Every structure is written in C-alpha cells, then in structure tokens.
Amino acid sequence: MKKILALLLALCVLFALCACGQAVEAPASAPAEQVEAPAAQPEEAPAAEASAEEAPAAEEAPAPESNTIAQITIGTTAAIETATNGEYAYDMLSSGTTQMPLVYQSTDGNFHPLLASFATEDSITWTYTIQEGMKWDDGEDVTAEDILFTLQYEDAKGGANLIDQTDSEGKTTTAKYAGYELSEDGRSISLTLASANVRELGNMTSFRVCPKHLWEGKEELTEEELRVGCGPYMFESFNKDAGTISFVPNPYFPQQPHVDRLVYQLFDNDDTMFLALQNGDIDMTWVYSTGVPGTYQEVLAETDAVQLLSINATNAPAVLAFNNSNGPFADENLRKAVVNALDYEQFRDYVGSAAADIPNAGFVPSSTLGFKETDPLTTDLAKAEDFMKAAGYTRNADGKFADADGKIFSFTLTYRSDRNNQVSCAELIKNQLEAFGIEVVLDALDSDSYNAKTSNKFSENNITMEAALYGYTAAGMGMGNGLATIYVDGRHAVQGGAQVYDEEFQTILSAMAAAVTLDEYIEAAGQMQDFYAEHNPIVALYWDSMTFGISSRFENIVIDGAFGLNNVNNWLSITEK
C-alpha cells in the first residue's frame, strides 16, 4: 500500500514539474554521511576584549571572511508571522542560528556545552559558565546575568522559575529553583533546583538567553531588539510576502561558520516543500522535531540529488492522547477499549517510514534513557469488546456500541489539518474504530485552534478535546522529568494535554524528580512506563527513526538530537563535496 502511495506521489511530482516546464532529475541512490559535532567554542582566546562601555557597534565590526559555501536554502513549513524572539516557531528555528541554547544533545544522547559549560556534584545545584568569547551580535558580552535575567523575565510573564505562580483558578505551580548564586567574574551562575534532577540538562537544550542590556526595564521592545542573538549568525531580513528569513554570520562569534548566508524558505505544505527539495530549489528541509515522512522518503530516495540521513528517534511522531479528566475517556475502560481495537500494523505500514516499528504499551521508544521493555501493542477485538461492556456499552442491532438508553458511543478526535501524518492517522483511527462499532467525529483544525483545545497554556487551562493526535518533540519528551510526562501531567503550565491528576501518577513523578542517581531515576522511569501500560493515558501509534533530507552536494553534516539538521554545529562543520 505504501509503495502505491509513493508511486502516486511520484506521479504528482512529475505532473507538477511538467506543468512548471521543469525536468526531473534522473533517479539514483545517495549515501548518507554524518560527522561528530565540533565544539562550539573559540579556536583561540581573543587578545583583548572591550568593556561594555567601549564595545564597538555592530556596523563597525570587521566584515567576516568569505566562507566555503555562499548560501544554503532551508525549506520549512514552520508558520512564522513576526520572526521575533518569543514566537514559538521562530524560537525553534533560530535556535540553530541566533538564539543558541546553553547546551546541545548529540545523537548518542550525551550532552555537551554550547553557549555554556556545566557542572554539578549532586544533581541539585547546576553551575553554568558562559564560554569564553561569547558576545551578542551588537558586540556586548554574554554574561551569567543574562541567564538570570531570562529566568526573571519569564517569571514576569507567568513562568515559575524563581517564584511560585498561582493561576486564576488557584492552581499553584511551584518554582523550579530554590535559589541562585552569581560568580564574581560574572561568567557563572549556580542554579539550585527545588529537588534533584539528574536529567536537568535535557531542559537546557532549548533554553535560550535574553539580552539583559537591551531588554531590562522596557515595557515594549522593538523588532530589532527582539532579534538580537548570540549565535554564529545574526538576523538579516524577514520578507513575509516572499516567505523568507535570512541570516548572515555574527562578526563577534568566536568561530567562523562555513556558510555565508542562510535563507529559510517558508512553505504552506509538505508537498511543495519536498518537491522543491527534489527539484534542487532548496538545499534541505527542516521542521522542528520532525523528519521526512515515510511516503516522501521513498520518492526522494529515487534521486541522486538528495541524501537521506537517519538517527534513532527519541520523539513520538504520532500520539493518541485521551482527556483523562473530562469527557468519555475519564473512564479507563473506554481508553482500554480504543487501545485494544486499533490496528498498529496499519499505522506502521501506511504512515511510518520503512524503519517504523510497532510501539510498546510503555509508550517511550527504546532510545529513551530509562527505557523498560513492556508488551508490544496488539489488536485484540475480544478484549476491546469486554472493556466496552465494562463501561456500560453493548452492541445494538446495527453493530454499534450503545448504552442502556440506546445512545450510541461516539467521541471527537482533534488533530492538526496541516500535519500529513496526523491526517492519515485520524482517517485510519476513524475507519478502524467504526468497523469495530465506535463512532468517531473528526475535528481537523489549524494550529491556533488546535492549541486552544489541547494545551493548558493556549487554552488558558481549559482543555476541551476528548481525544487528540499529537506529535511529541524529542525535547518535549525529555523535559521536566522526561518520558513525555509534561504532556501527561495535568498540572503542567504549558502542555498537560492528557489531563492526568491520578495520585499514582503523581507519586511516580515525584520519585523521578527526587532521584539523585541514574539508578534511582531508571527505577522510577520503569514504574512510569508500567503506569502507561496499565492505564493507557496516551498511546504511541508507531515508533520511527528520524530521517532528514539534504542535498547530496554537502558532506561533514552534523545532526543534533533535538534540532536535527538546523543546529549551530552543523553550520560550523558542513562543507561542499
């Protein structure tokens, strides 16, 4: 079936190219190549540094030397409206250019310094030291005070870093940190957590620092101020009509990137983006925590113009999450009925890539720290029917499940209309469950409407979905206490879609948070996977590797565990063949 879909897609691509008067590349295979990331730090210490008062203006900085590659064009379907700090999609994109996180995670799961080095002796107090030579792209030094200011700035907007926050309904989020201490030289900050977290560095792969010297004391910030960064690139332009964002090298960055100009081309959909990649109009594609879908992989593999690179994924590309607190799926029997009625082989074969696999009931993929082997998900219609009966539903004359009053059981499935894998999964779920006797109403939404029904933050703590499809990012899977718990925990300030407040869940979560050694964490992580397997608050529809597409003319490519091809180290390493 998947090959038929690939053939249809290939024919669509051919017709589109013919309509545009363009030729298709002769098909061939391309090898994949990836190298270890270089350390993003100075090649040599600067001879002298200007004081804050004497820092030269950006326009006075020396012009960067010419690099190996004049320009790389990256295609993305990220929906960007302002291209400023604080816009989620732009923040994720610019994490690889201007808003460099504190640390990065390599594909082997290890963490490494990026903007800052790190140290801890007890997993409670973590010390971050700004790497030598790091400057904002206006020439000012990056300092540990910028880290502190960022935490305080987020708190002023409702975060709970250094202070507790209570929402309008009286729900309190406890501060993450119990205290902090700045070093005398201003380069280091020691942050003391409220409780130990052996996995704290996972939260720092997406922690971006704000410039205190520009933002402090201002109620409103200009677009220019919202675009100042400290990465290897600085913002150049945003043309909303043309759908392009461009970056040029930051002249103050300690290392010279290998690309003189990065241009991000915004696309409305996957079809046109991957057509552009196949046709050579763009050099690579990038969508945060998302690789090339399986169907497109089969088409792109037929051309020698594109190479496909894969890593073991720590994300969850397709998740069916239930509202465990309100609506029909507050009844565990109904959750179990749905989980047992689904056909996971179809999700693997028709939606996933060639490397996709059937997931376990414990939810998280095997590449996850603390992974525990649980039973693989299987279809068991007899067991599903038993759970429907336990919930008070039996088949009527038409074969549909109805309650004692004759009311047919039906639920609404919410998903993103712009995510092809969610569209495919939604259709499969509807077909499978209606064949079993459960009615499914599909609720396809744009990103804003979707977020307003599925996220604590964007719904203002009023999640209304009954069941929804999600794509959990690698960073999100590892945040907080890991194992996707931020998406499950109903108390989480931003996510919490599954709306779980269960006492057993909270007890295990506390044990994960209290772990001071990896052994203690792994034991608690195993208990959490057992909880997932037993109670089914969420279910992975398939596991998959993460595959990326990039022009075959490049080599020395670095893939980041959180940000894929769009990462600082890639721009410091990549070369043309």
Residues of the chain with CATH 3.40.190.10: 2-37+229-301+551-576
> Under DSSP, is residue 316 helix (H, G, I), strand (E, B) or coil?
strand
pLDDT at 67: 52
Is the torsion defined by CA of 540, 542, 543, 549 positive or negative? negative
pLDDT at 37: 56
Chain-centre distance for alpha carbon 83? 18
Chain-centre distance for alpha carbon 108? 17
Give the burial string for 315-351 (b: 16+ CB within 10 Å, else e).
Answer: bbbbbbbbbbeebbbebbebbbbbbbbbbbebbbbbb
pLDDT at 298: 87
| Cα–Cα distance, 476 to 542 (Å, whole number) | 18
- CATH number of the domain located at residue range(s) 316-542 in this protein: 3.10.105.10
pLDDT at 356: 92
Return the half-sphere exposure (C-beta side, CA atoms, 13 A cut-off) of residue 426.
24
Residues of the chain with CATH 3.10.105.10: 316-542
- Closest C-alpha among 329, 330, 260, 275 to residue 306: 275
| Cα–Cα distance, 75 to 71 (Å, whole number) | 13
pLDDT at 19: 39
- Closest C-alpha among 127, 133, 122 to residue 47: 133
pLDDT at 525: 96
pLDDT at 32: 40
CB atoms within 10 A of CB 471: 19
Question: If you count them, how many residues does the chain have?
Answer: 577
| Cα–Cα distance, 126 to 112 (Å, whole number) | 14
| Cα–Cα distance, 10 to 295 (Å, whole number) | 10
Provide the residue-wise pLDDT of the chain in tens; the chain has 577 residues.
444 444 444 444 434 433 333 332 333 333 344 555 554 443 333 333 333 333 334 444 455 445 589 999 999 999 999 999 999 999 999 999 999 999 998 887 789 999 999 999 988 999 999 999 999 999 999 999 999 999 999 999 888 999 999 887 787 888 999 999 999 999 999 999 998 888 899 889 989 999 999 999 999 999 999 999 999 999 999 999 999 999 999 999 999 999 999 999 999 999 999 999 999 999 999 999 888 988 899 899 999 999 999 988 889 999 999 999 999 999 999 999 999 999 999 999 999 988 899 999 999 998 888 999 999 999 999 999 999 999 999 999 999 999 999 999 999 999 999 998 999 999 999 999 999 999 999 999 999 999 999 999 999 999 999 999 999 988 889 888 899 999 999 999 899 999 999 999 999 999 998 888 889 999 999 999 999 999 999 999 999 988 999 999 999 999 998 899 999 999 999 999 9
| Cα–Cα distance, 255 to 350 (Å, whole number) | 44
CATH of 2-37+229-301+551-576, one of 3.20.20.70, 3.40.50.740, 3.40.50.2300, 3.40.190.10: 3.40.190.10
Calculate the alpha carbon distances from 412 to 27, 206, 426 in Å: 43, 33, 11
Counts of helices then strands in the chain (DSSP H, E): 16, 24
> Under DSSP, is residue 95 helix (H, G, I), strand (E, B) or coil?
coil
| Cα–Cα distance, 345 to 349 (Å, whole number) | 6
pLDDT at 34: 54
pLDDT at 136: 98
Rounded-to-5 percentages of helix, strand, coil across the chain: 30, 20, 50
